[in-house]
C-alpha cells in the first residue's frame, strides 16, 4: 500500500465540475480513507491567463503501482477533455491537470514520471493545499516537511482558499 499525494487543477471550462468529475473518477483508485484539502483558487503559474485555477489536494492509500496509477490518471484527464501537445511546456489553460506529487517516500525518475514532483517546492498552489492535509510529511529528496517548504517558498503568486 502506498501513501499518495495528488494535486488537481482546472482553469478551463466549468472548473468546479471538472474537479468534481475528476475526484469521482479518482476516489475508487484509493482505499476507503483519503483526505481532501479545501478548495483553492490560484493565479496561473508559468503563463498568463485571465482565468485562475481551482486547486485541491488529495492524500490516500492505493494498491496501484506508480505506473498503473499514472496510466489511470492520464486516462481521466483525457476523458475530461485534456489534450496533451507533444513538446509543450504544459504551461497552458486546461480542463483538468492531475499531478502525482508524492508516492510514499519513493523517488522515481523515468521519462514518463518524476516523483516527487520536481517543482512542487516552488509552487504555492501545491504547497498550500498540501500543508492543510499533511504539514509534517517529509519530502524524500529535500528532507523537509511540507510546512517548512511552504515557509521557505519564494513564490509570490496568490492562492486563496474558497471552501
What is the structure's pLDDT at 88? 63
What is the structure's pLDDT at 81? 85
Segment (H or E) for 26: helix 15-26
Mean pLDDT per 10-residue segment, the chain (163 residues): 96 95 95 90 81 96 96 95 69 87 97 94 97 98 98 96 92
What is the structure's pLDDT at 33? 79
Q: From CA 143, how far away is CA 85, in angstroms rounded?
A: 34
Q: From CA 98, how far away is CA 47, in angstroms rounded?
A: 18
| CB-CB contact of 92 with 11 (8 Å) | no
CA dist 159 → 45, 127, 136 (Å): 11, 10, 21
Helix (H, G, I), strand (E, B) or coil at 78: helix
We report the CATH number of the domain holding residue 129 as: 3.30.70.560
SS3 per-residue string spanning 94-155: CCCEEEEEEECCCCEECCCCEECCCCHHHCHHHHHHHHHHCCCCECCCCCCEHHHHHHHCCC
Q: From CA 75, how far away is CA 66, in angstroms rounded?
A: 14
Q: Which domain holds residue 130?
A: 2-161
Q: From CA 45, how far away is CA 125, in angstroms rounded?
A: 8
What is the structure's pLDDT at 118? 93
Number of domains in the chain: 1
What is the structure's pLDDT at 139? 98
Alpha carbons within 13 A on the beta-carbon side of 49: 16
What is the structure's pLDDT at 13? 92
| CB-CB contact of 141 with 123 (8 Å) | no
Q: Is the pTM of this model over 0.85?
A: yes
Amino acid at each position: 500500500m502506498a501513501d499518495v499525494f495528488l494535486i488537481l487543477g482546472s482553469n478551463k471550462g466549468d472548473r468546479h465540475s471538472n474537479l468534481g468529475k475528476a475526484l469521482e473518477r479518482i476516489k475508487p483508485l484509493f482505499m476507503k480513507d483519503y483526505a481532501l484539502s479545501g478548495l483553492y483558487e490560484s493565479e496561473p503559474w508559468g503563463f498568463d491567463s485571465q482565468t485562475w485555477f481551482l486547486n485541491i489536494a488529495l492524500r490516500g492509500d492505493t494498491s496501484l503501482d506508480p505506473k498503473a496509477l499514472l496510466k489511470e490518471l492520464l486516462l481521466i484527464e483525457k476523458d475530461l477533455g485534456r489534450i496533451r501537445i507533444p513538446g509543450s511546456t504544459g504551461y497552458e489553460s486546461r480542463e483538468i491537470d492531475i499531478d502525482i506529487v508524492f508516492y510514499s517516500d519513493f523517488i522515481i525518475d523515468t521519462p514518463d514520471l518524476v516523483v516527487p514532483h520536481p517543482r512542487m517546492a516552488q509552487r504555492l498552489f501545491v504547497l498550500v493545499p498540501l500543508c492543510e492535509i499533511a504539514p509534517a510529511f517529509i519530502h524524500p529528496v529535500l528532507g523537509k516537511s511540507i510546512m517548512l517548504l511552504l515557509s521557505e517558498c519564494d513564490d509570490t503568486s496568490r492562492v486563496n482558499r474558497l471552501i
